[in-house]
Structure 1
Amino acid sequence: MSKITVLVPVYNAPKVVDFLLKSLRENTNRSLVDQIIIGNDNSDTTTTTLIDDLIEGDELFQHIKREKNLGFLGNVNDIFRRATGEIVVLLNSDTILPAKWAERVAAAFESDPTIGLACPLTTNATNLVLKPAPGQHWSDVDRIISTIEPVYPNCAPVVGFFLCIRTAFFNDADLLDPIYGNGYWEDTDLHFRSLKKGYRNIVIDNLFVFHSNHSPSFSIENDLKLINDTNEKIFSKRWCKQYKSMVMTQDKLGVMSRHATPSTVQTRYTYTRELEVLFVLPAVHANSGGISVVMNFVDELNQRGIAAAVYSYGHCDNLYVHTQLQNVPFMDKQDVLNQISKVRYVFATSHDSHEYAKAFANHYGAKFCCFVQGPEAAFAKGRHAVSISRQYKDYDINVAVSGYLARYLQAFEANTIQIPLGPSKFAFYASERTKRNPKALAACVRIDDLKGTGRLMANLVMAERAGFEIHLFGESNGWDIFKKAKSHGNLTSAQLAKLFSQVGYYLDCSHMEGLGLLPLEAAFSGCIPIIAQELGLEGIVTNGENVIVLPSEFPGTNFYRKLLSDHNEAIRENGVKIRDKISLESAVSSFIQQISLVRRTEQPIVLIPAQDQHLPSLVEERDYYRSQLETIYKSKSWLLTKPVRFAGRVVRKLRQVL
């Protein structure tokens, strides 16, 4: 078989790079791959150190460290010239690869010598999307479609997230045209250049990879649209006619029709499997710290080979799930019972989820546990304090995410273990490449009494009068006292990390925090947290050393003026060092060790129909409008009005000439 060279252009974003390189290291057949070239385009120290640590002593990897940033296309073209394999696989840094990916790439190119380019199916890539069914991790989808005989249909068009290239066919000076600058449309341009040369571009329809489809390398400002619009104009001048012809002729859902349920992009099959851990959540949606912690925790467990899943009995935000996470929660208990044959641990995550988790634990004979992120007995003015205190003693294990919560649980004589939870140290970190404004202060606005919003607003007035530039995120609309403030709305974790890397301070007035994730995310990023009280941060932070605790509820304008005049660099530097004590990665390692979780083993796959009747429609907005346009183009009225449209275009051109 042909040898494969893997190319990985990298610029910062160490968390996604961590996932990708670990998957390459563990899932690559080294007899098929001659080298993996990492083009490090002058990334920051955290990213560069991570890469060095991951590939140390592994001769398959080559780490090219640039002293000058070439930009995405310059980086790709340079490492493509270094490739020695007959096939090149160009990877976005935000992809994750499954086991036996190289075998399937090589087999696809061996099937037809005229194949020039190829792409697999994925979670996010417009025309190559296949969504996991409820309860599935993205790797489950790959296990399913890997059992189905491939047909290698034509791709319309290829997408650059995982682009396979027969190197002999592309000996131009540059693989990707530098005219496209920072990227976008350059892969579609390559698609049509390949077709023009007479080659086939195909879909490897028995391979599925994860693609998160968001670039942490860009700022929180909306610069992606400008880049996309500029490059689309360049592309249209070259290939407009061919592109329109392709769009008009491609089938509805295209190559996914064999794998997806009708009128959706949801995979039509699933299979029975065993789980180490099942978490039960009341809902799954963005902008909830507790929910995000559990979902990211499950992603990290699965990445380490621990079979974990989530069941949600409430609302599920499919957009959040399918664009930011690697796993889709179960949304119907019957799906869990149909697809899961064994569970070792079932975790409730709140007072409301107790009975649901208990039912699953009883059904599977699993250990009944609780993942505790807050002092719930004190929530809702203590209305459920008695029942919650009894529940703690019912659990086989209570997992506390902080020392503060461990002491809280021990006060109820509950069986407790503690894990050193914090933000991901690779998602939130202080980058020396980011320009920070020490006179900028960020705050998260949340309409919840426990978040201390009223006190926060009063303090922000003082900070603004003292001369701070205010940045708001979260539910930041409708607060008329901040007409000069920059409002960013709800932010993804990547966007939040960017914001914390650009401002000097973060103000938080929350009450009853079991941990205090946002202040920690700020500290990890080199942004000094100003907090009302320590609570969940007790034992993690020290006032004046790595955080600033408000001296009173309303410290006055002079307090904030003093912050502006003081440099506080020691506090900033010490805040970053908290990453050495706690993090998502450390917490997952501790969790696995303390409850003795076991890596999954390969099991025979017997396909069963996915229970799509339990799932809300997963037709994405773009697919909906595409189907509507298709209906219009095939309608009789469209055909009858063709002369009118033609006459209108002629009149417009005549007016331009005259």
Structure 2
Amino acid sequence: MSGPSVDIVVCIHNALDDVTNCLDALDRTRFTGPQPGVILVDDGSDRPTASALRDWAGPRDHVRLERRDSPGGYTVAANTGVAASRADLVVLLNSDTIVPARWLDKIARVFDHSPDIGIVGPLSNAASWQSVPELAAPAGGWAINDLPEGATVDDMDALVELAARSVPVIPRVPFVNGFCYAIRRAVIDRIGAFDETGFPRGFGEEDDFTLRAVDAGFGVALALDTYVFHAKSKSYGSATRSTLTAAGQEKLRLKHGAGRLERGSLTMRRNPYLERMRREVGLLIEARTGTTTPAMA
């Protein structure tokens, strides 16, 4: 088969219900290239999760299971998975995601658009700037958009694909959310691994990697026609997540400069293609359900 080789790296620490949903969806992935490899990194999960992962990986020849006996943190787990891959494209996929059937073909097509594109991400219900249809929650913070009533993840992927027809470009962006983070092999070969010293538990490691990739001459782009559901994992509580996020942002400011981060955030906030997608997705949801979303205002 033609097309790039792909490995999907899933880093796992407990939260078995979310993990099960993620793996079930990976089984339904349809890719026109060679069968994607799946690298599961079990970062010191408890016995029920570890056993479930062994059971899932055992009969699947394309799956590799890497087990860490004690948790090393997300970034260490991600580097473990990336180091185990030799594929043309490596996709870091959070264990609390649900992918639609055609997600991987659409992400791979963005890389085909230009050889300089090194990192690609999709849209989602809960992925900061990449969220549709709502960006902010009513009470503040990022929105976590529910699926429309009666809709599946594949339904939303089709809806987002339809909305993307109104945006006939592949937008270049300064950042991509790490929940579904696709990397060209050349980027890894050029800049190395994620910074597990500065960001041992995640929460900033993908922004640091992205900025380093940009400095090395690679472009960063979005697959606007692709939707991956993000459940927001229970591996960390909200208080712990807030603490880790603040620490990660401070590390980024020290390493890359506050001005650069602020300019990047402003660029994402004002991105006309993302604004158009939020509005178009809101209109399509209204047509489907009769419910108006704030993105349409």
Q: TM-score normalised by the shorter chain: which range applies?
A: 0.7 to 0.9
The letter of the residue matching 2:275 is: S
Corresponding position of 2:172: 154
Q: Is the 8 A contact 1:41 1:65 kept in 2?
A: yes
Alignment partner, residue 551 of structure 1? none
CA distance, structure 2, for counterparts of residue 190 and residue 145 of structure 1:
27
Matched position secondary structure for 2:86: coil
Identity %, equivalent residues: 21
Partner letter of residue 198 of structure 2? I
Equivalent-residue separation in structure 2 for 1:268 and 1:33 (angstroms): 36
1:229 maps to amino acid: A
Counterpart of 1:13 in structure 2: which amino acid?
A
Which one of 128, 135, 156 corresponds to residue 141 of structure 1?
Answer: 156
The equivalent of 2:198 in structure 1 is: 179
Give the Cα–Cα distance (whole angstroms) in 1 for the partners of residues 278 and 245 of structure 2.
29
How many Å apart are 1:109 and its aligned residue? 0.7
Aligned partners of 2:173 and 2:268 also within 8 Å: no
- Across the aligned residues of Structure 1 and Structure 2, the Cα RMSD in angstroms comes to 2.5
> What SS does the aligned partner of 1:116 have?
strand
* Residues matched between the structures, number: 277
Q: Could you say what secondary structure the match of 1:136 adopts?
A: coil
Contact 1:128 1:255 in 2 (8 A): no
The TM-score with structure 1 as length reference comes to 0.40
Q: Which residues of 2 match residues 153-552 of structure 1 at below 5 A? A: 153-171=171-189, 172-213=191-232, 215-218=233-236, 220=237, 222-239=239-256, 240-250=258-268, 252=270, 254-261=272-279, 266-269=281-284
How many Å separate the matches in 2 of 1:68 and 1:30?
37
Specify which of 276, 292, 297 is matched with residue 615 of structure 1.
292
Q: Distance in 1 between matches of 2:235 and 2:289?
A: 38
Q: SS where residue 39 of structure 1 aligns?
A: strand
Superposed CA offset, 1:282-319 (max 9, x none): xxxxxxxxxxxxxxxxxxxxxxxxxxxxxxxxxxxxxx
Q: 1:116 aligns with which of 118, 130, 149?
A: 118
- Measured against aligned partners, the alpha-carbon deviations of 1:377-415 in whole angstroms (never above 9, x if no partner) come to xxxxxxxxxxxxxxxxxxxxxxxxxxxxxxxxxxxxxxx
User: Are the equivalent residues in 1 in contact too, given 2:100–2:153 (CA < 8 A)?
Assistant: no
Cα–Cα, structure 1 residues 28 and 36, in superposed 2: closer, same or farther, change >3 Å?
A: farther
| Residue number in structure 2 paired with 1:58 | 60
Q: State the distance in 1 between where 2:201 and 2:73 align.
A: 6
- Please list every run of 5 or more consecutive structure 1 residues that lacks an aligned counterpart in the other structure: 271-334, 336-608, 625-658
Distance 1:257 1:224, change over 3 A: closer
Q: CA deviation at 1:99?
A: 0.6
Separation of aligned partners in 1, 2:126 and 2:34: 27
Runs of 4+ residues deviating >6 angstroms = none
**Partner Cα separation in structure 1 for residue 238 and residue 113 of structure 2:** 45
Q: Work out whether 1:126 is the aligned partner of 2:124.
A: no
Q: Is the 8 A contact 2:123 2:227 kept in 1?
A: yes
Going from structure 1 to structure 2, the CA distance change for 1:123 and 1:221 (only over 3 Å counts) comes to closer
CA distance in 2, matches of 1:3, 1:35: 8
Measured after TM superposition, the shift of residue 257 of structure 1 is 3.1
